[in-house]
Structure 1
Amino acid sequence: MAKHLDLEEQEQLDAIKHFWERWGNLITWVLIAVLGAYAAWTGWQYWERRQGALASVLYEEISRNVDAGDVARVERTLADMKDKYGGTTYAAQGALLAAKLLHEKSKSAEAKAALAWVADKASDEGLQASARLRLAGLLMADKAYDEALKQLAGSFPASFVPLAADRRGDVLVLQGKRVEAAAEYGKAYQGLTADSGDYRRLVGMKLNALGIDPDAGTKSGAVS
């Protein structure tokens, strides 16, 4: 009986040996690939967390210097942040903060450059949309109407669609294109909810100024 069991065990061992001779290398490489992928993923997660933590420190520095009105320090910190942590959300938020101060300090070109960077590089589509709207506003103030409309072209996240339409209406009014402007204001008005409050009323006033009753959707006067 014992001999019979020994034969069975030997057969099993031979089968296992044969299996590993045939498939052992493949299984080993698959395990290495899986474990390597897991190690890479955990390493990436750690790297992202570390990048975010370091970027947050520079963001706080930008915020403090914006409050202090220190343009030189804001510009230096932003440049450092873009260079080292440009892929983080903090970098995009920092650039938006910096752009506000730069505009207030009459550094229009630098403000537009900061906003253009966010619009092009930010990983968050909401921050990209905010940057495009603000950049369009600065271009509009510079009478660069065609450039402003380029920033407002294309798709926007759903919550930004009415805001982009309103801004396009503003640009078109300044270009003397009142009919087209009215159409854009109409889109904005319809896209804004009652919760939008004063903003929706403001768009309604713009339509009224063009001779349109926004709630009736009909002309109360000529748009020309």
Structure 2
Amino acid sequence: MAAFDLEEQEQISQIKGWWEQYGTVVTAIAVVAALASVGWQGWSWYRGKQGAEASALYGVVQQAAAERNAQKAREAAGTIIEKYSGTPYADLAALMSAKVQSDVGDLKNARVPLAWAAEKANDPALRSLARLRLASVLLDEKAYDEALAQVQAPVDADMAARFADLKGDILVAKGKPEEARAAYKEAVDALAGATKSEASALREIAQAKLDAVGSVK
């Protein structure tokens, strides 16, 4: 028994020595881990709350769109963009509100959410779509140089034809048929062999426009 007590005392002494040397570090690590866990839980709760609130407001935008209530859509989308810009609902609300404004002929207010989405939308694909729609609105407003600037930057292959086709429209409006022909040809070539009905229809439209302004030399 004495031998056991001696061995036990020796182990206790070793543990005390180890703790005196490393105890502060271990405690610090434990505190940091605890704080990280609490912080992550708090962040998750905050993100969930943000998402729920943004979702509710997006429902208001959807209802306003169904009612063609441009002001209601604009205000709800504006709140989402201002307070919940980090959520996917901000991207969607911006595009939907812009469509409502455009549908009622308010191109000026359609530009605002599109300009935001074209630069700051969370989804790269939606940024490209916003740029395309913004360029279309600017074309309707006869702001040709601004519209052209929106379609000049590179885009993903799946959007290239639509950008090229719209670029052709802008160049025709600017009185530059030669450049317009090149843009329409680019759109037609990008859709060569397209089988989906929508892509095939766009190719036929771009080809008709190309034929209308003459063949590319």
Taking structure 1 as the reference length, the TM-score comes to 0.84
Percent same amino acid among aligned pairs? Answer: 37
Q: Deviations over 1:33-81 (max 9, x none)?
A: 2332233223222222221121111111111112212223222222322
Which consecutive unaligned segments of at least 5 residues does structure 1 have? Answer: 213-218
- Taking the aligned partners of 1:76 and 1:84, their CA distance within structure 2 comes to 12
Seen in structure 2, the aligned counterparts of structure 1 residues 97 and 29 have a Cα distance that, compared at 3 Å, is: same
Superposed CA RMSD in Å reads 2.1
Match of 2:167 in 1: 168
* 1:194 partnered with 2:195: yes
**Which stretch of the first structure deviates more once superposed, 181-190 or 194-203?**
181-190
State the AA in 2 paired with 1:202. I
Number of residue pairs aligned between Structure 1 and Structure 2? 213
Taking structure 2 as the reference length, the TM-score comes to 0.87
Q: Is the 8 A contact 2:70 2:100 kept in 1?
A: yes
Deviation, structure 1 residue 147? 0.6
State the AA in 2 paired with 1:11. E
Match of 2:81 in 1: 82
Seen in structure 2, the aligned counterparts of structure 1 residues 33 and 4 have a Cα distance that, compared at 3 Å, is: same
- Taking the aligned partners of 1:6 and 1:158, their CA distance within structure 2 comes to 78
Match of 2:68 in 1: 69
Aligned ranges 1:39-118 → 2 under 5 Å: 39-118=38-117
* 1:151 partnered with 2:150: yes
- Taking the aligned partners of 1:119 and 1:63, their CA distance within structure 2 comes to 20
**Which stretch of the first structure deviates more once superposed, 203-212 or 99-108?**
203-212
Seen in structure 2, the aligned counterparts of structure 1 residues 179 and 50 have a Cα distance that, compared at 3 Å, is: same
Q: Deviations over 1:113-134 (max 9, x none)?
A: 1211211221111221111100
Q: Deviations over 1:7-49 (max 9, x none)?
A: 3322222222112211111122222223322332232222222
Seen in structure 2, the aligned counterparts of structure 1 residues 114 and 21 have a Cα distance that, compared at 3 Å, is: same
- Taking the aligned partners of 1:183 and 1:65, their CA distance within structure 2 comes to 41
State the AA in 2 paired with 1:151. Q
- Per the alignment, in what secondary structure is the counterpart of residue 87 of structure 1? coil
Which consecutive unaligned segments of at least 5 residues does structure 2 have? Answer: none
**Which stretch of the first structure deviates more once superposed, 149-158 or 108-117?**
149-158
Match of 1:130 in 2: 129
**Which stretch of the first structure deviates more once superposed, 30-39 or 101-110?**
30-39
